[in-house]
C-alpha cells in the first residue's frame, strides 16, 4: 500500500532503572486496519502503548502518528490520536456531557457540534447528563470511546477495550470497532488478553513477549502456518511410529495423533500407514486457536 | 489557555472544595466574633462603669506629662507624639479603641490566621489539584491531548491562583460582614501605628507612623495573599511529586505545625530562619511584634518565602513535563 501509515513505530526501546523493558519494537498500521497487540503480562504491551500516546518518553526509537513525530511534534501528533489507556478513567464528579466538553475545550479545532455526533455514535444520548459516578462499566467504556473519537483521530488506541464487559457488550464493542475501521477509515490498535477477541476483531496481530515483537502477520497467515492434521487411527503406537519417521508427531487427546499440515505429503503418509496395516479412521485438518499459536510462539509463557 | 483554566475551575467547583472552605470560614467567624465580644465585655467590667472617654483622657494627660519631661530621648519623644496624636484622634472622633468595629475584627482575624488557618484552607484546595488526576487515572486522558504538558500544569496553577484569591477575598468579606452585625461596620479610618522595627532586644520606633486602618488592612491582606500563594505553590509542587493526596496533606500539615512550634523555640538556632514555615507570620512585622529569630525583617521573610516559592514552582514544572506516567 502506498498510503502513509497511520501509525509508525520504529525500533522503540525503553530502559527503566538500567533494565531494558522494551527491546526494539517496530510495527506499522495502515489506515482502516484493526491491529491486535498480544502478549502476556509484563511483556511490555502497556509500556509500548504509553510510549505511543506520549505518556512515557522512549529511550530510543521513533513513533509517528499520521506522519508526525510524537516527541518533536507532540501537539500535531496528538491531534491524530484518540486513546483509552487501561480503564476509561473519567471525572466521576462531572456528568458525561461535562467530561466531553472538558476534553473538547482542550482542542480548539473540535467544534461543539462534534459532541452530539460522538454521543450518538456510542449511543449514550439518554444518560449523557448524568454523573459519571452513576455509570455502569459498559457506559464508562462507551464514554471513553466517545472521548477518544472527539478529535476525529486517524488512530484509535484501545487498551483492553472489552475488559469487564458482559458477552453482549463485548460483541457490541467488537462490531463497533470493526465498523469504525470500515466506515471512518480509522486505524485501531487493540491490546487484549482475550485471544479469541483479537482473533475475531483484528486484521493483523503482533505477538509481543519480553519486550520484543516475536511475530507480526495477518491472523489468517499466522493460523494457516500452524495448521494441523489430526489423525484417528488404530493401532496408535504403530501409526505413531510410522508417522514419526516422516514428520513431528504429538499425541492428542482421546487417542489421536497430531502432525503438521503438509498438503503435498499428506497422501504419502496416509498410504504408508495403510500399507503397514494401520486403519485410518479419520483425518482432519484443524486451524489452531490463536491461543495455541500464542503458546507456541512465546514458548508457553502464561497469558493473562 | 482560558479554556484550560476554565476546565480546571469547573473541576474545582464540582469537587465542592470551595464551598467547604466558605462554610468553614462562615462557621469560624461568628465563633471568633463571640470570643472577641466576650473579651470586650470582660474588659469593660474590669474598668467598672467608668466612661472610656475618661480613661482615654487620662492616658492622654499621662502621655503629655511624659513628653514634657526633659530627660527622655528624642526618638522616644517622637514616638510618644505619634501615640498622642493617635489617642487624640480617638477622642475627637469618638472612637472607643477598646470597642472595635468590623474592620478591626477583620484585622485581628487575619493576623491570627495567617500562619496556620489560611495555609490550611489553601492546602485543602491545592493538595489534590494534580495528585487526584494521578491517582484517579484521569491524567492519562489529560496528557494525551494536543496540549503541551507545561500548559496543562500552568492552567492548574492559574486555577490555584484564582482560588487562593477567592479564599482571601471571602475571608475579608465574611469576617467583615458577620462581625459587623455585632461590632458595627465603622472604623475604616481609625489611625493605627505601624513601622516598628526590632533590633536585638529593643523595639525601634524611629520609623513609626500613623496609617488609617483601611490602608493597614489592605497591607495585611496583601501579605496574607502572598503567604497563601507561597504555601499554595509548595503544596502544588508536592501534589505534582506525590500521587497520594493524603501524603501531600500530611507533609504540608507537618511542616506548617512544625513552623508554629519552631517559631516559639528557635530563637537561638539562627539558621532556622531559612525555613519557609517560620517566616509565615508576615503581619507581625506590620504590627511590630517580636520576631522569632534575630535578624528577621519583612524584607528578609518575603525573600525567603519567594525563594522557596520559586524553587517549588520550577521543581513542579520540570518534573511534570519530564515525568513518565505509568
For B256-307, the DSSP string reads: HHHHHHHHHH-TT-GGGGGSGGGG--THHHHHTPPPSSTT--HHHHHHHHHH
User: Hey, how many other C-beta atoms are within 10 angstroms of the C-beta on A300?
Assistant: 9
pLDDT of B42 strictly over 70? yes
B144 in contact with A, Cβ within 8 Å: yes
Stronger pLDDT, B314 or A213, i.e. the higher one? B314
Q: pLDDT at residue B210 above 50? A: yes
Residue A11: predicted pLDDT: 87
**d(C-alpha A197, C-alpha B37), whole Å:** 73
Q: What is the pLDDT of residues A263-277, one digit of tens each?
A: 788 888 888 888 888
The verdict on B215 touching A (C-beta cutoff 8 Å) is no
pLDDT of residue A2 exceeding 60: no
Picking from A279, B266, B62, B13, the residue whose alpha carbon sits closest to that of residue B5 is: B13
Nearest to B145 among A76, A85, A107 (CB): A107
Cell numbers given for B174: 465574611
Mean pLDDT confidence for B91-117:
80
Residue A195 clears pLDDT 80, i.e. is over it: no
Q: Is the CB of residue B151 less than 8 Å away from at least one CB of chain A?
A: no
B145 and chain A: CB distance < 8 Å anywhere? yes
pLDDT in the model for residue B200: 57
- Chain A residue with CA closest to B320: the answer is A55
Closest CB to B146 among A57, A75, A98: A75
- The minimum CA-CA distance between B262 and chain A, rounded to whole Å, is 39
Q: Tell me which residue in A57, A76, A83 faces B324 most closely, judged by beta carbons.
A: A57
* Res A3: pLDDT: 64
What pLDDT, on the 0 to 100 scale, is given for residue B201?
Answer: 57
- Residues A70-98 have a mean pLDDT of 88
- CB count within 10 Å of CB A2 equals 3
* Ramachandran sector of residue A7 (left: φ over 0; alpha: ψ -120 to 50; beta: rest): beta
The residue-averaged pLDDT of A171-198 equals 83
Q: Is residue A68 pLDDT above 80, yes or no?
A: yes
Nearest-CA distance B151 → chain A (Å): 11
B2 and A CB contact within 8 Å: no
Res. B270 pLDDT band, cuts 50 70 90: confident
Which range has the worst mean pLDDT, A16-30, A289-303, B106-120?
A289-303
CB atoms closer than 10 angstroms to residue B322? 9
- Answer yes or no: do A108 and B325 touch at CB < 8 A: no
* pLDDT over 90 percentage in chain A: 6
| Cell numbers describing residue B263 | 517559631
Confidence (pLDDT) at A122: 84
Q: Which of A68, A91, A99, A105 to mutate to test the interface with B (most CBs of B within 10 A)?
A: A91
Whether chain A has a CB inside 8 Å of the CB on B147: the answer is yes
Q: Can you give the pLDDT at residue B163?
A: 93
Instruction: Check residues B324 and B88 and name the one with the higher pLDDT.
Output: B324
Asked if A93's CB is within 8 angstroms of B10's CB, the reply is: no
> How many beta-carbon pairs under 8 angstroms link A with B?
78
Q: Are strands A7-16 and A60-65 parallel, antiparallel or unpaired?
A: antiparallel
Is A111 within 8 Å of chain B by CB?
A: no
pLDDT surpassing 70 at residue A301 = no
> For the purposes of burial, counting CB atoms within 10 Å of the CB of B145, is it exposed (0-12), middle (13-18) or buried (19 or more)?
buried
CATH 3.30.70.980 boundaries in chain A: 227-286
Q: How confident is the model at residue A303 (pLDDT cuts 50, 70, 90)?
A: very low
The Cα A253–Cα B89 span in angstroms is: 107
- Residue B250 confidence (pLDDT): 93
Q: B140 touching A, CB under 8 A?
A: yes
Q: What is the pLDDT of residue B204?
A: 66
CB count, 10 Å around CB of B296? 20
**Which residue reads 512550634 in cell numbers?**
B261
A85 has a chain B CB within 8 A of its CB: yes
pLDDT tens digits, one per residue of B221-236:
999 999 999 999 999 9
pLDDT at A71 (0 to 100): 86
Please provide the average confidence, as pLDDT, over all residues in chain B: 84
Facing residue for A106 by CB, picked from B14, B136, B145: B145
Select the more confidently predicted residue: A244 or B167. B167
Contacts A69 to B, Cβ<8 Å: none
Q: Which residues of A touch B322 (CB under 8 A)?
A: 57
Percent of chain B past pLDDT 90, that is, above it, reads 27
Give me the mean pLDDT over the B241-253 stretch: 91
**Mean pLDDT in residue range A71-86:** 87
Residues of chain A with CATH 3.40.50.300: 7-223
| Topology given in CATH for the domain delimited by A7-223 | Rossmann fold (3.40.50)
Determine whether domain A227-286 maps to CATH 3.40.250.10: no
Cut 0.80: pTM above it = yes
- A86 and B CB contact within 8 Å: yes
Give yes or no for a cis peptide into A235 (omega within 30° of 0).
yes
Question: Quick one: pLDDT band at residue B62, thresholds 50, 70, 90?
Answer: confident
For the segment B86-108, the average pLDDT, to the nearest whole number, is: 77
pLDDT for A1? 44
User: DSSP 3-state helix, strand, coil percentages of chain A (rounded to 5)?
Assistant: 40, 30, 35
Any idea which of A98-112, A223-237, B137-151, B198-212 has the lowest mean pLDDT?
B198-212
- Chain mean pLDDT for chain A: 83
Closest residue in B to A149 (Cα) is B145
What's the average model confidence in pLDDT over B21-38? 89
Strand pairing category for A81-84 and A228-234: unpaired
Is A76 near chain B, with CB under 8 Å?
Answer: yes
> Is the per-residue pLDDT at B98 higher than 50?
yes
**Cα A95 versus chain centre, distance:** 31
pLDDT in tens, A120-168: 888 888 889 999 999 888 888 889 889 988 888 889 998 877 777 788 8
Asked whether the beta carbons of A210 and A24 are under 8 A apart, the reply is no
| A112: contact with B, CB 8 A cutoff | no
How many other CB atoms are found less than 10 A from the CB of residue B66? Answer: 15
- Measure B283 CA to nearest chain A CA, in Å: 38
Amino acid at each position: 500500500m502506498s498510503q502513509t501509515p497511520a501509525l509508525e513505530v520504529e525500533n522503540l526501546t525503553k530502559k527503566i532503572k538500567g533494565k531494558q523493558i522494551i527491546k526494539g519494537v517496530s510495527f506499522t498500521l495502515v489506515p482502516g486496519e484493526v491491529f491486535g497487540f498480544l502478549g502476556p503480562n509484563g511483556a511490555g504491551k502497556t509500556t509500548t502503548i504509553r510510549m505511543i500516546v506520549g505518556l512515557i518518553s522512549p529511550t530510543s526509537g521513533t513513533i509517528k502518528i499520521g506522519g508526525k513525530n510524537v516527541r518533536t511534534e507532540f501537539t500535531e501528533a496528538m491531534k491524530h490520536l484518540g486513546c483509552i489507556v487501561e480503564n476509561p478513567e473519567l471525572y466521576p464528579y462531572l456528568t458525561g456531557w461535562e467530561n466531553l466538553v472538558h476534553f473538547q475545550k482542550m482542542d480548539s479545532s473540535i467544534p461543539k457540534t462534534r459532541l452530539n455526533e460522538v454521543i450518538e455514535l456510542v449511543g449514550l444520548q439518554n444518560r449523557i447528563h448524568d454523573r459519571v459516578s452513576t455509570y455502569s462499566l459498559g457506559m464508562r467504556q462507551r464514554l471513553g470511546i466517545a472521548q477518544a473519537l472527539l478529535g476525529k483521530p486517524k488512530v484509535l488506541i484501545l487498551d483492553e477495550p472489552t475488559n469487564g464487559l458482559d458477552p453482549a457488550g463485548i460483541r457490541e464493542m467488537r462490531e463497533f470497532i470493526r465498523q469504525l475501521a470500515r466506515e471512518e477509515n480509522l486505524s485501531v490498535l487493540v491490546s487484549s488478553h482475550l485471544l479469541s477477541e483479537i482473533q475475531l476483531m483484528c486484521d493483523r496481530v503482533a505477538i509481543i513477549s519480553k519486550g520484543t515483537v516475536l511475530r507480526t502477520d495477518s491472523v489468517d497467515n499466522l493460523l494457516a502456518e500452524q495448521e494441523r492434521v489430526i489423525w484417528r487411527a488404530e493401532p496408535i503406537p504403530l501409526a505413531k511410529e510410522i508417522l514419526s519417521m516422516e514428520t513431528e508427531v504429538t499425541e492428542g487427546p482421546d487417542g489421536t495423533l497430531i502432525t503438521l499440515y503438509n498438503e503435498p505429503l499428506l497422501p504419502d503418509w496416509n498410504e504408508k500407514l495403510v500399507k503397514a496395516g494401520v486403519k485410518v479412521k479419520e483425518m482432519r485438518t484443524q486451524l489452531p486457536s490463536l491461543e495455541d499459536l500464542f503458546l507456541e510462539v512465546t514458548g508457553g509463557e502464561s497469558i493473562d | 489557555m482560558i479554556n484550560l483554566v476554565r476546565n480546571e475551575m469547573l473541576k474545582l467547583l464540582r469537587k465542592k472544595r470551595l464551598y467547604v472552605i466558605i462554610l468553614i470560614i462562615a462557621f469560624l467567624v461568628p465563633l471568633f466574633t463571640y470570643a472577641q465580644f466576650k473579651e470586650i465585655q470582660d474588659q469593660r467590667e474590669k474598668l467598672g462603669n467608668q466612661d472610656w472617654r475618661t480613661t482615654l483622657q487620662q492616658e492622654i494627660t499621662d502621655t503629655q506629662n511624659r513628653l514634657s519631661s526633659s530627660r527622655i530621648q528624642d526618638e522616644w519623644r517622637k514616638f510618644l507624639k505619634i501615640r498622642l496624636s493617635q489617642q487624640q484622634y480617638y477622642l475627637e472622633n469618638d472612637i472607643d479603641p477598646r470597642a472595635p468595629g468590623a474592620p478591626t475584627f477583620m484585622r485581628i482575624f487575619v493576623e491570627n490566621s495567617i500562619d496556620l488557618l489560611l495555609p490550611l484552607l489553601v492546602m485543602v484546595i491545592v493538595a489534590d489539584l494534580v495528585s487526584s488526576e494521578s491517582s484517579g487515572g484521569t491524567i492519562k486522558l489529560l496528557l494525551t491531548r494536543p496540549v503541551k504538558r507545561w500548559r496543562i500544569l500552568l492552567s492548574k496553577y492559574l486555577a490555584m491562583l484564582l482560588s487562593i484569591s477567592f479564599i482571601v477575598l471571602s475571608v475579608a468579606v465574611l469576617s467583615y460582614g458577620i462581625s459587623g452585625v455585632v461590632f458595627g461596620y465603622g472604623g475604616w479610618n481609625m489611625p493605627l501605628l505601624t513601622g516598628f522595627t526590632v533590633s536585638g532586644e529593643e523595639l525601634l520606633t524611629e520609623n513609626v507612623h500613623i496609617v488609617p486602618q483601611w490602608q493597614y488592612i489592605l497591607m495585611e491582606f496583601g501579605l496574607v495573599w502572598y503567604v497563601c500563594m507561597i504555601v499554595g505553590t509548595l503544596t502544588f509542587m508536592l501534589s505534582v511529586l506525590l500521587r497520594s493526596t493524603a501524603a501531600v496533606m500530611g507533609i504540608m500539615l507537618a511542616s506548617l505545625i512544625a513552623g508554629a512550634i519552631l517559631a516559639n523555640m528557635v530563637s537561638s538556632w539562627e539558621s532556622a530562619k531559612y525555613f519557609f514555615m517560620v517566616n509565615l507570620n508576615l503581619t507581625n512585622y506590620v504590627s511590630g511584634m517580636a520576631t522569632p529569630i534575630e535578624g528577621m525583617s519583612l524584607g528578609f521573610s518575603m525573600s525567603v518565602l519567594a525563594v522557596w516559592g520559586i524553587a517549588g514552582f520550577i521543581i513542579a514544572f520540570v518534573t511534570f513535563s519530564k515525568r513518565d506516567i505509568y
